[in-house]
């Protein structure tokens, strides 16, 4: 079987952090085209990861015109996901687009329609689903340990952690701040664990309190973890934290919290900022500190706890597998070869984006957002 030929549009942080290393470890893949507005980034990627004849571009349309390319990864700022993904699907390519699917619900809907129109595959880069603790949590839920999950908390909180590379604090390029950037992971994960995508209504608030107020000197003094540099408060124009209350059609509720900057007392470690809490009729679970704590029936203390590979003895059939970045690539390449199914469906990612969009709307207009019974789309009036 011929190798699958893959092109990459956007050669910045996530391309180098996840997509290039992840795809380079897969068999039967030619990483043959690289595009970035900054040509040096495309050239560097082609040199490090490309086939000997890999091509570089600054205009993604030229990359898409190459009929030998089977699939592309869309790794640009959020606002460009829709246009580039639709163009790629129309050009006959399968697409792995980074999260969030799009900056707005309307864009994400157009992407779904393009997928349906072209019959090409479309998936979104929600790799948190592959983390060991989240795989275990999924198995625990699916095996019925929790009973009916009726309440969840989806959390991605940084006390101080505003991304200072790229264009993350520019609303016109990203569509929003921490809610759309990291809240999107927490929400995707929670919907996935609950396997519940039927939303009744959403109420939310986004806060613009600290992003523009803190001067760089002050940022460095407030328990800043040093993971990220100080951000530029003069150009900051997105929210710094947000909360959402999501009511599902079956009565279940998800409370979503996301922040890049918030004055919470606790400082979560760099790897412990994203976690989910699930409450069911038989038991509860949380994934704090990258482990699964499960409280089965009603007990004062968790009855089982797993950390990393200690999971295996307790969950038959569970395999920790490769790192999330290569797991995502492995599943994607299998699907491209016709040997497997997509794991993150565009329909699931669309639901995440429509909820986030509705939270922003709810915050701006100070009212709940319901979803159309027939189309499932948010009702904005």
| Interacting residue ranges for ligand NAD, rule: CB under 6 A | 9-15, 35-38, 41, 60, 75-78, 80, 98-99, 125, 127, 165-167, 181
User: Shortest approach of ligand NAD to residue 184 CB, angstroms?
Assistant: 8
**Which residue from 115, 137, 128, 132 is spatially nearest to 156, judged by alpha carbons?**
128
User: Shortest approach of ligand NAD to residue 124 CB, angstroms?
Assistant: 9
User: Shortest approach of ligand NAD to residue 46 CB, angstroms?
Assistant: 14
Both structure tokens of 71: 């699939």
Report residue 58: phi and psi, to 5°.
-110, -15
Output 170 or 200, the one with its CB closest to ligand NAD.
170
Output 87 or 114, the one with its CB closest to ligand NAD.
87
Output 59 or 113, the one with its CB closest to ligand NAD.
59
Output 156 or 361, the one with its CB closest to ligand NAD.
156
Give dist(CA 379, CA 365) in Å, integer.
Answer: 13
User: Shortest approach of ligand NAD to residue 228 CB, angstroms?
Assistant: 12
Spell 303-330 as b/e; 16+ CB within 10 A means b. Answer: eeebeeeebeeebeebebeebbbbbbbb
| SS3 at position 355 | helix
Output 9 or 137, the one with its CB closest to ligand NAD.
9
Count Cα atoms within 13 angstroms, Cβ side, for 271.
6
Output 75 or 258, the one with its CB closest to ligand NAD.
75
User: Shortest approach of ligand NAD to residue 163 CB, angstroms?
Assistant: 7
User: Shortest approach of ligand NAD to residue 63 CB, angstroms?
Assistant: 9
Output 56 or 254, the one with its CB closest to ligand NAD.
56
Angle between helices 184-194 and 346-365 (to 10 degrees): 120
HEC string for 208-219 = CCCCCCCCHHHH
- Helices marked H in 152-278: 171-174, 178, 184-194, 216-221
User: Shortest approach of ligand NAD to residue 166 CB, angstroms?
Assistant: 3
User: Shortest approach of ligand NAD to residue 174 CB, angstroms?
Assistant: 7
Residue least distant from ligand NAD (Cβ):
12
**Which residue from 238, 235, 229 is spatially nearest to 179, judged by alpha carbons?**
238
- Helices marked H in the chain: 13-14, 20-24, 39-49, 60-64, 81-90, 105-118, 132-142, 171-174, 178, 184-194, 216-221, 324-336, 346-365
Output 163 or 378, the one with its CB closest to ligand NAD.
163
Q: How far is CA 175 from CA 27, 49, 103, 148, 178, in A?
A: 36, 31, 5, 35, 10
Output 152 or 180, the one with its CB closest to ligand NAD.
180
User: Shortest approach of ligand NAD to residue 108 CB, angstroms?
Assistant: 13
Give dist(CA 75, CA 189) in Å, integer.
Answer: 20
């Amino acid at each position: 079987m011929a190798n699958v030929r893959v092109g990459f549009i956007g050669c910045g942080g996530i391309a180098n952090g996840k997509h290039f290393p992840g795809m380079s470890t897969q068999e039967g893949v030619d990483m043959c085209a690289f595009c970035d507005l900054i040509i040096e980034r495309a050239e560097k990627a082609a040199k490090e990861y490309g086939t000997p004849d890999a091509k570089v571009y600054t205009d993604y349309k030229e990359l898409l015109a190459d009929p030998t390319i089977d699939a592309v990864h869309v790794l640009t700022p959020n606002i460009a996901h829709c246009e580039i993904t639709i163009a790629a699907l129309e050009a006959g390519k399968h697409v792995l687009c980074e999260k969030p699917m799009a900056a707005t619900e309307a864009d994400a809907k157009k992407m779904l329609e393009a997928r349906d129109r072209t019959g090409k595959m479309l998936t979104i880069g929600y790799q948190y689903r592959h983390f060991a603790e989240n795989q275990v949590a999924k198995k625990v839920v699916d095996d019925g340990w929790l009973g009916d999950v009726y309440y969840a908390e989806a959390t991605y909180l940084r006390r101080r952690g505003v991304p200072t590379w790229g264009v993350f604090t520019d609303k016109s390029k990203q569509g929003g701040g921490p809610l759309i950037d990291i809240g999107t992971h927490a929400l995707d994960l929670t919907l996935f664990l609950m396997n519940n995508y039927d939303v009744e209504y959403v109420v939310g608030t986004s806060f613009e309190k600290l992003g523009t107020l803190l001067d760089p000197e002050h940022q460095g003094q407030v328990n800043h973890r040093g993971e990220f540099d100080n951000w530029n408060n003069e150009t900051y124009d997105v929210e710094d934290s947000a909360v959402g209350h999501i009511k599902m059609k079956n009565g279940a509720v998800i409370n979503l919290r996301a922040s890049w900057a918030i004055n919470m007392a606790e400082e979560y470690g760099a790897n412990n900022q994203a976690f989910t809490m699930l409450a069911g009729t038989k038991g509860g679970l949380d994934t704090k500190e990258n482990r699964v704590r499960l409280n089965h029936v009603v007990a004062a203390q968790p009855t089982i706890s797993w950390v990393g590979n200690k999971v295996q003895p307790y969950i038959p059939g569970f395999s920790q597998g490769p790192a999330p970045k290569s797991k995502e690539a492995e599943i994607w390449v299998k699907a491209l070869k016709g040997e497997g199914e997509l794991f993150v469906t565009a329909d699931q990612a669309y639901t995440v984006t429509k909820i986030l969009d509705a939270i922003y709307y709810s915050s701006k207009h100070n009212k709940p957002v319901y979803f159309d019974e027939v189309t499932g789309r948010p009702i904005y009036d």
